[in-house]
Amino acid sequence: MAPKVSEPNPSTRRPTTTFRDRLNAGPSLTDFVTSPPSAETSAPTSSNLPPATDPPTSDPPLRTALVGPANRKREITRLPSWLQTPIPSSPNYKRIKADLRGLNLHTVCEEARCPNINECWGGSDKSAATATIMLMGDTCTRGCRFCSVKTSRAPPPLDPHEPEHTAEALKRWGLGYVVLTSVDRDDLADGGAHHFAETVRKIKDKAPGMLVEALTGDYGGDLEMVDLVAGSGLDVYAHNVETVEALTPMVRDRRAGFWQSLRVLERAKGLAEGMITKTSVMLGLGETEEQVWEMLRELRKINTDVVTFGQYMQPTKRHMPVHTYVTPAVFETWRQRALDMGFLYCASGPLVRSSYKAGEAFIENVIKKRKGRRDVTMVEDLREASRGASI
């Protein structure tokens, strides 16, 4: 049994840092989807994390440019080449988008402006596509300073038909693995947990072979709601810590908390045998190496199975600025470190996000192998019982 998550004594904790949301000159979505101009000054910069043991030599230096009026020039860092992705335009991307709109389904892929949407939706085979369905509408009651999802204190009421419609749509879509997530709904007494659990049950009723990953909120720390969702028949329980403990007050909504998130993951892990738990972390927010190490140690204490690392990208100029563009070599270093610590799987790279196509494929194989072993064991137990009864 994993040790209980215990929050450090308040007297020893780092004091809450005040965050001032301000305009800044960082790169916006336009920089994200376009190639950099050819006439900028090159200026190498370093990550706040240590380089890999054997770093590749192919990582180009970061590029800077001077912008603004002649008498008020300021230097900005251009989006690195390894973070630039093509604008999605493939026929399959357009078909999937039309399907989703016709079924009145929302995806976090669109709402959170995921850079991998072209890769996940743009393949030649729609059945191999990956989409993260966002339940309970597209408006969140929280205001995390990294997230571009719309916010409101009083979002529209839940659609009572959404669980049935979502399950039917996914059955017709024919996916083997689906990720469900939701906005936070602090305006509801249960945080939307019953709605989420009902959606999972409907999917399992209509498509028993479909594997379901649930990326949930923290339900305000109500662990009974975590039990409800974790016990609904899902295969992977995911909840994101987002960043290291020291930066949580600056990055996440005040109602979220690092230790609260650990308690959610620990509770889900202990509820069902074989439950895979997963969390995701953004780098580039100003975290230190030791802070990342400590976060990984806390996650392993509660037997978290999967961790992913991705680059924080500023969605708009109203959101937190990027502190550091972490190089692919450093991401690879953290991947190796996580695996060495005993994590079942780690996806780590500048464009990796919570729901990452390659990671889902790996987890899908793990779940199927585990189920296969359980089936074999069950058959052997039945044969043994049968032989005993005939003697």
Which conformational region is residue 139 in: left (phi greater than 0), alpha (psi within -120 to 50 degrees), or beta? beta
Is residue 391 classed exposed, middle or buried when 0-12, 13-18 and 19+ CB atoms within 10 A define those classes?
exposed
In contact, 116 and 358? CB cutoff 8 Å: no
| Calpha distance 104→16 (Å, rounded) | 40
Percent helix, percent strand, percent coil in the chain, to nearest 5? 40, 15, 45
For the record, the structure tokens of 155 come out as 């979002």
| Calpha distance 74→382 (Å, rounded) | 74
Dihedral pair phi/psi, residue 346, rounded to 5°: -140, 120
Residues 95-123 pLDDT 10s:
777 767 676 676 656 655 666 666 666 55
Given a cut of 70, the residues of the chain with pLDDT beneath it are 1-3, 6, 8-65, 67, 75-79, 81-93, 99, 101, 103-104, 106-131, 355-362, 371, 374-391
Q: What is the pLDDT of residue 266?
A: 97
pTM: 0.73
Q: What is the pLDDT of residue 29?
A: 46
Residues 64-99 pLDDT 10s:
667 678 777 776 666 676 666 666 666 666 777 776
Residues 313-326 pLDDT 10s:
888 888 889 999 99
SS3 for 89-144, per residue?
CCHHHHHHHHHHHHCCCEEHHHHCCCCCHHHHHCCCCHHHCCCEEEECCCEECCCC
| Calpha distance 215→134 (Å, rounded) | 9
Q: What is the pLDDT of residue 49?
A: 44
